[in-house]
Structure 1
Amino acid sequence: FGVLVSLFVSLTLTPMLCSRFLEVRSRHGRAYWALERFFRGLEAFYRRSLAWALAHRWTVMLAALAVTLSSVYFLRALPVELAPQQDEGKIFVNVRAPLGSSIEYTQRKLQEAEQIVGRYPEVVTEFAVIGLGSVGQVNQGLLVVRMKPRAERRRSQQQVMAQLRRDLTEIAGVRAFPRAPGLAPRQRSEPLQFVVRGPSLQEMGRVAAQLQSQLQLDPAIGRMDTDLQLELPQLVLEPDRVRAAGLGLNSSDIALAINMLTGGIDIAKYNDSPGDGERYDIRVKAKDGEFTQQADLSRIYLRNRSGQLVRFDSVAKVRETLGPAVIGRFDLQYAASFYATPVIDLGAAMARVRAAERSLPPGYSVTFIGEAEQLEKTSGDTVFTFALALILLYMVLASQFNSFLQPLIIMIAVPLAVIGGVFALWMFQPLAALGKLAGLEITTHSLNIYSMIGLVLLIGLVAKNSILLVDLSNQRRAQGLGVDEALANACPIRMRPVLMTSLTLILALLPASLGLGAGAESNAPLAIAVIGGMITSTLLTLVVVPAAYSLVENWRERRHARRGGGAALEAPQAPKKTG
């Protein structure tokens, strides 16, 4: 929409303003003549470079092909992720105690975690909760940490998390996993999330534990959290029905007594008078602390139908066992979910999980969820978007130039731009390594949805430079010049508009590429990809496109001459309006 508005303004408002306020002076200042001398020298250099390129067309094209193929190396060397982590000044710490732990134990461990977090000067507040989620297990807690605004602290959120991840390992008896807020609220936000699923619960648990142990041997994966909980200590009630019936009891009486004393049963409703309109449940249960171990159950007495008291352990016994605390399912199969924040990029971590998946038995598989799942979908969607943009661009150019070949010449600028965008993103990795040696912190960039959007934008941005060169060359050929003579005349004339429009876009995106202000983590990759693509496309297009145009159009003229054509072959022109 912005481009359409810009087109409307350039065709209506800009000419009107020029007619009113633009003055062409015959005398100019020093700044004008300094710039004019610079552009004239640049134009002279470009004329010599263009002449050499037209004399060595195949050399230029092979060099351009080699540069384009080199982008494969830089593309593979780039880290891949869905989106860069934003510095929101908030950290979540998931704390998981062993199954069967009491709420008091979990609370003590959360207090230890709070003490560690409180030592960080970047932290403003923190608070902890126990038993969140649909299951509400008391062996799990969440610590929410809020930090100072980014301008008031020296370390970023990612740096604080890296240090906090090491410090939380000091807490014995629990596993703590710091993580950043996710794209979706109230969901786990670790980048690497996947599900191991299969038809058998016990076998799935064994396979999932084996896969977790295998992946934990790789330090690049990082510590892994899981919701696999198949070893919860449980007490199985086994009533002696025959003996209970002889004493005037049944299984329902025994279960009711156990349930009431240990868990509690709602027996009535209560509302205060005059009251506030709310009714409250009345629950009957044993006093807290009365039943803390299995031996305490022997102190329970049941009253039979005759009014006599019968000791609990005389009609039932309790057996200790291990069972699942939570049974997870995914696509109608038993499943265990895993969560990790890998040290390496998400794409490389997913590849290692896929490699480990090959060791799973038949019937069991790994499915990515969360950010990892979206990364797989986004990669395919981006390829489709890129291909569709190229097809639409070709269709528009073919209709405007009345040619099937010249749009391909114009679109040579696209791969020349992609190599620049990819190289610009990759360049920050060696710069960060050198900066680390010098004690400087330089942010690296990855191939994510924002940088991919920048690469797609380059398709439309860089085509205009080629259009300027090819269109004026066609006009000069229509005036009677040969192919190379038309290029030698048209390209230097178009050099200034090409450089000015490209430089305008580069300077406009320069503040965003520096990573300043809010949203810098998402703005910088897009801006850097576009700036890198515009630089390489602008510089190479001025040489490569004329060489390709000369090859194609001279070949067309020779073919036309061999077929016995009399007049010289005319360059394709846009359709003229009649009437």
Structure 2
Amino acid sequence: SEFAIKTKGEVESVEAFGDLVVAFRDGRPTWLRDVARIEDGMEDERTYAALSGKRGVSLDVRRQSGENTVEVAKEVRRIVEVLRASAPGGVKLVIARDVAHFVESSVNDVTSDMIIGGLLAVLITFLFLLNPRTTLIVAVAIPTSIVSTFFALYVADFTLNMLTMMALSVSIGLLVDDAIVVVESIHRYVQEGETPLRAASLGVKRVGSAVLAGMLAIVGVFVPIAFMDGLVGQFFFQYGLTVSFAVAVSFLVSMTLTPVLSTVLLRKDPEKRPFARPLLVFHHWMEEKYTALLGATLRHRWVAIVGLFIAIAGGGFFASLVPMEFMPLTDRSEFTARIELPLGTGISETKRVAARLASDIKQLDVVEEVFLTVGAGVQNKVNEAEFYVALTPKQTRERGQFEIMDEVRQLIQNRAPEVKAYSLSEIPWVSGGTAAAAQIEFLIQGQDLAYLGSVAEDLADRMRASPAFADVSTSYDPGKPELQIHIDREKAADLGVSVDRLAGTVRALIGGVVIATYEEGGERFDVRVRLEEHQRDDLAKLGLLQIISATGDLIDLDNVATIEVGMAPVEIDRMDRSRSISISANNSRSYTLGQATTVLDGLVAEINLADGYSSRTEGAAKLMAETAVSIISAFGMALIVIYMIMASQFNSFAQPAIIMLCAPLAFIGAFMAIYLEGAGLSMFAQIGLIVLMGLVMKNGILLVEYANQFREDGMDAVSAIMQAAPLRLRPILMTALSTVFGMLPVALSVSDGAEWRRPMGILVIGGLMSSTFLTLLIVPVVYTLAADLGHSIRSGKDKLRIRFQSNNPNPAE
């Protein structure tokens, strides 16, 4: 027979450790229980977590890259419910923080904005057409286009997130624009006595090319947005393509479904009902007044040109008053805070200070929960504590989140004088972030750490004295207190004590070392050995530590070394292989990020860095600058694309330039609106400017295209534009106002995430209103001037040709 041989020498209980023999003296064994106290205890506390004063264990769940935040959150909630059912008594599972709530709420609010905007757009259409049938045809375009766009999003593997939903909310007014133009043209022919079928054919033929040019102009604007470089390009990729999908689908609907429905539903209107007569009278009065105003403008064209330059100058003036910012401050009803106590502060003191602050914060009437962690960072710094503060919904409180954050800053200053540095931040909009996230990160680089530190502290002091900054701190710390053991090598050599053994003994007795592992209940636990706490809690006792020499004698540490307290650098940061110190700060509530960055540039200019040292801006401030460059590139690309599209559409180099005058006419209204709102030119507002450029082109296209058709019938430029402009007045106003009212819920929204959407809505509304009014006057003026100029050039060429022919008669004659 064969047998396996196993030696069973591992202890099977904590008490059995005492029976281990550690030495023999005079033939007698020395048991471990004779020289040590054996304890089944806990590791040294290095982290701490509490939710609203109740201690617990925290678990941070992060989604993998590319995964959907809401889907991950739903799955986590489901698992938590399952675990709750099996949790032992006295244990509660609480979701302290869920970023998906804000996403879900924002998407729901955007959906509500879309529905309200769509209803308002349909109402505007009815007030102009005064016909339920035509209004129904236009209204059908909205759900048809949106459902078709959803299919396009599915094919492109896009999700229904805040950006795609925001794109759809922006598109609501655009979805009816093409249908409005087509159905108005068909309706006009029906009223003139044509059959619905022929009216549909003639109506589409009359405006089809203009609708196509308008759609291509908008797509030409949004496609460059989708393919911008950097973070902003990744951020707006789905946004730009979603709008492009929606506009392309709405064009197809207007060219197919709208004419078909018109042949079925449209009939020549009988006498208008009594409620419609006042509106009809108003329409006729508006067209008459516009015709008279347009005639007066065309008789004084140079006055209008002066007005054009005044409008452009006004747009530039208001643009100079609008400050730059990266992202608007967003009230998410939650924020984070971080405090830092002096280096060397133990976890017990940090817990005491942090718990006091957490209790004070929780007592604020607008605070729902305070989640506190100590030592939770990557480096487990026990002198730092982080707070996650959940507020009541913003719709239920009178004070904004950032006003409450200022209150918490003041509370930290008054209630925690021990705190060395602190910072408060809104929850970052990119991947959640951490409590340490700051809007401004300024780096100073060089080789001499002491010089870098002095410059950083000087700049930080200047920033603290400026009202533009809050939560100013630096990564530089002169050092952490430490015990330094200086070995006398001659004495150590004489007594047979090696440096390695001395260091190992001190490490084991003071810090403790893991010497083995122990299994119990199927789990393994570390076995750590070190001195009792009362033998290592006094610096004077350290010299009594004994080290075993090479001969086996015990040598006091004092005999071979001296012990003193010194300072050592906590960490040395490097960037691009150079030593660096960072200064972190947030812009104060009264300054935008762009304004704060400008102030910082001025402060940096006052500090003359020595040769070999450099500085640069990182963080959101750097992203803001990069975004501005990307936006300018996209703006220029959009201009080129729009010009090429219209040049091919109109077979002219001059007429696209006339239509593109609509863009600067929009800027005065856009910048005036954003200035009066008191908002900054954020990334969303900058995208809104590009969006606006595509929207306002449609008005000019409708005017020029219709005037060209009359010129093909033999009219001169002035007569053609005088005939076309009043006829296009109603569809231009309908499309502009449907877009304005479609954006109105976005501009007036106060729901979750509204701070991101509102600047874009306000800017687009202001720009459309100014552009629509000025386009109806300025474009006809420039159109006729261009025609006169072209006529003069052709006449001049004819005269030169005749003169050349008279001076050079044909020799054959």
TM (norm. structure 1) is: 0.91
Quote the offset at 1:293 in angstroms.
4.4
After TM superposition, the structure 1 = structure 2 runs for residues 339-378 of structure 1, keeping only pairs within 5 Å, are 339-343=584-588, 344-358=591-605, 359=607, 360-378=609-627
Q: Which amino acid aligns with 2:553?
A: Q
Quote the offset at 1:309 in angstroms.
2.2
* SS of equivalent to 1:500: helix
* SS of equivalent to 1:222: strand
Distance 1:289 1:362 in 2: 53
8 Å Cα contact 1:483/1:550 also seen in 2: yes
In the alignment, which of 164, 176, 188 is matched to residue 422 of structure 2? 176
Quote the offset at 1:481 in angstroms.
1.4
After TM superposition, the structure 1 = structure 2 runs for residues 100-115 of structure 1, keeping only pairs within 5 Å, are 100-115=344-359
Q: Give per-residue Cα distances to partners, 1:429-484, cap 9 Å, x unaligned.
A: 3xxxxxxxxxxxxxxx2111111111111111110100111111111112121111
- Does residue 246 of the first structure (1) align with residue 490 of the second (2)? no
Greater alpha carbon shift after TM alignment, 531-540 vs 278-287: 278-287
Quote the offset at 1:158 in angstroms.
1.7
Quote the offset at 1:226 in angstroms.
2.2
- Does residue 424 of the first structure (1) align with residue 673 of the second (2)? yes
TM (norm. structure 2) is: 0.66
Determine the structure 2 residue equivalent to 1:53. Answer: 297
Distance 1:565 1:42 in 2: 44
Taking every aligned residue pair, what percent have the same amino acid on both sides?
32
Q: Which amino acid aligns with 1:209?
A: E
Determine the structure 1 residue equivalent to 2:338. Answer: 94
Greater alpha carbon shift after TM alignment, 160-169 vs 353-362: 353-362
Q: Which amino acid aligns with 1:409?
A: I
In the alignment, which of 683, 687, 708 is matched to residue 474 of structure 1? 708
Determine the structure 2 residue equivalent to 1:435. Answer: none
Task: Indicate the RMSD between aligned Cα atoms, in angstroms.
Answer: 1.7
8 Å Cα contact 1:512/1:527 also seen in 2: yes
After TM superposition, the structure 1 = structure 2 runs for residues 455-534 of structure 1, keeping only pairs within 5 Å, are 455-534=689-768
8 Å Cα contact 1:195/1:369 also seen in 2: yes
Distance 1:452 1:415 in 2: 15
After TM superposition, the structure 1 = structure 2 runs for residues 136-215 of structure 1, keeping only pairs within 5 Å, are 136-170=380-414, 171-174=416-419, 175-184=421-430, 185-187=432-434, 188-215=436-463
Greater alpha carbon shift after TM alignment, 112-121 vs 496-505: 112-121
Q: Which amino acid aligns with 1:339?
A: S
Q: Give per-residue Cα distances to partners, 1:288-337, cap 9 Å, x unaligned.
A: 45434432312312222333322111111123222211111111111122
* SS of equivalent to 2:587: coil
Runs (5+) with no aligned partner, structure 1: 430-444, 567-579
- Does residue 312 of the first structure (1) align with residue 560 of the second (2)? no
Distance 1:17 1:155 in 2: 51
8 Å Cα contact 2:669/2:770 also seen in 1: yes
Distance 1:26 1:316 in 2: 111
8 Å Cα contact 1:82/1:371 also seen in 2: yes
Distance 2:353 2:505 in 1: 34
In the alignment, which of 629, 634, 640 is matched to residue 391 of structure 1? 640
8 Å Cα contact 2:357/2:412 also seen in 1: yes
Q: Give per-residue Cα distances to partners, 1:12-66, cap 9 Å, x unaligned.
A: 1111122222333212112322111111111111112111211111211121112
* SS of equivalent to 1:341: strand
Greater alpha carbon shift after TM alignment, 401-410 vs 51-60: 51-60
Quote the offset at 1:534 in angstroms.
0.5
8 Å Cα contact 2:305/2:778 also seen in 1: yes
8 Å Cα contact 2:395/2:751 also seen in 1: no
In the alignment, which of 515, 529, 551 is matched to residue 267 of structure 1? 515
Distance 1:116 1:181 in 2: 21
Quote the offset at 1:73 in angstroms.
2.4
8 Å Cα contact 1:80/1:446 also seen in 2: yes
Count of aligned pairs: 548
In the alignment, which of 687, 692, 709 is matched to residue 453 of structure 1? 687
8 Å Cα contact 2:424/2:471 also seen in 1: no
Greater alpha carbon shift after TM alignment, 251-260 vs 355-364: 355-364
Greater alpha carbon shift after TM alignment, 461-470 vs 42-51: 42-51
Check 1:97–1:504 CA distance in 2 against 1; reply closer, same or farther (3 A cut).
same
8 Å Cα contact 2:456/2:583 also seen in 1: no
Q: Which amino acid aligns with 1:308?
A: D
Distance 1:321 1:411 in 2: 70
Quote the offset at 1:154 in angstroms.
2.7
Quote the offset at 1:565 in angstroms.
7.6
8 Å Cα contact 1:357/1:365 also seen in 2: no
Check 1:146–1:325 CA distance in 2 against 1; reply closer, same or farther (3 A cut).
same
Determine the structure 2 residue equivalent to 1:442. Answer: none
In the alignment, which of 571, 576, 582 is matched to residue 326 of structure 1? 571
* SS of equivalent to 1:141: strand
8 Å Cα contact 2:692/2:767 also seen in 1: yes
Distance 1:115 1:367 in 2: 39
Whichever of the two has the greater Rg, that structure is 2
Determine the structure 2 residue equivalent to 1:82. Answer: 326
- Does residue 281 of the first structure (1) align with residue 526 of the second (2)? yes
8 Å Cα contact 1:182/1:190 also seen in 2: no
- Does residue 36 of the first structure (1) align with residue 270 of the second (2)? no
8 Å Cα contact 1:223/1:341 also seen in 2: yes
Determine the structure 1 residue equivalent to 2:12. Answer: none
Distance 1:266 1:367 in 2: 45
Q: Give per-residue Cα distances to partners, 1:56-92, cap 9 Å, x unaligned.
A: 1121112111221222222222122111122222221
Q: Which amino acid aligns with 1:299?
A: L
Greater alpha carbon shift after TM alignment, 325-334 vs 129-138: 129-138
Distance 1:198 1:385 in 2: 36
Distance 1:288 1:10 in 2: 83
8 Å Cα contact 1:116/1:168 also seen in 2: no
Q: Give per-residue Cα distances to partners, 1:118-166, cap 9 Å, x unaligned.
A: 1211111112111122222211111111122223333222221122122
Q: Which amino acid aligns with 2:687?
A: I
8 Å Cα contact 2:422/2:471 also seen in 1: no
Determine the structure 1 residue equivalent to 2:3. Answer: none
Determine the structure 2 residue equivalent to 1:438. Answer: none
Determine the structure 1 residue equivalent to 2:652. Answer: 403
Distance 2:628 2:729 in 1: 36
Distance 2:585 2:537 in 1: 35
Check 1:365–1:351 CA distance in 2 against 1; reply closer, same or farther (3 A cut).
farther
